[in-house]
Amino acid sequence: MVRGSSYVWLAALLERIVRDALQATLREISLLSVPFKDLRFSLFSLLCDAEFASIADRSRSGSWEQRIAVFLRTAQADPALLAENILPLDGRTIRGEHFDTIWLVLGLNTPSLPSPLHRIVLRDLADGRNEVAHGHIDPVTFGRSKATKDMLRIALRVDEIIMHLLGSLDSYLDKKQYTR
C-alpha cells in the first residue's frame, strides 16, 4: 500500500513544489519592477495570456487591434506585473514535457532535466500515479509490482529534479535572465 501510494504522494509533492517555485519566481520578477521593454520576449506568453485567449475567441477581422496591442506592450516602459496564477502548466500530472515548456517560457539556458533518466522516471511516476489515483489499479496491487529499492531510487530522482529546478530558477534570477 505504501509503495503504491508513494506514486501519488511523490507526484503531488512534485506538482506543489513546481507550482510554488514558479509562483515565487514570477513574484520576484514583478517585485523588481522590470519594464515591459526590458523583459524577455518569451515571458509575454504569460503576460498576455488573457489577450491571446481573447484574440482566439474573436473573428479574424475583429482581432487586429488586439493583436497590435499585444506587440505594443513589448515596448512599454511600465513595470511588468506577472500574474502568479498564469503558469506554463496544464493541470496534468507533471512529466518531462512540462519542464521543457517551463524552460521555453522562462528562457532558461540549461537542460530542463538533469538527465534523460529523469525524464523516464517522470513518465513512470506520472503513469503510476494516474493508474492508482484514478482507480485503474488499487495501491496494494500496484505496490506489489514495485521493489522498495526501486521506489527509493524514484524518490531520489524526484529530489534531484526538484533541486535542479530550484537551482536553475535561483540562477535565472541572479543572472537576470528574465531580461532581453
Does 156 score more than 90 pLDDT? Answer: yes
Q: By three-state DSSP, how is residue 105 classified?
A: helix
pLDDT at 160: 98
pLDDT tens string 122-155: 999 999 999 998 888 888 888 888 889 999 999 9
Q: Cell triple for residue 120?
A: 523516464
Name which of 48, 29, 31, 49 is nearest 39 in CA terms.
29
pLDDT of 61 over the 80 cut? no
* pLDDT tens-digit series, residues 20-29: 999 999 999 9
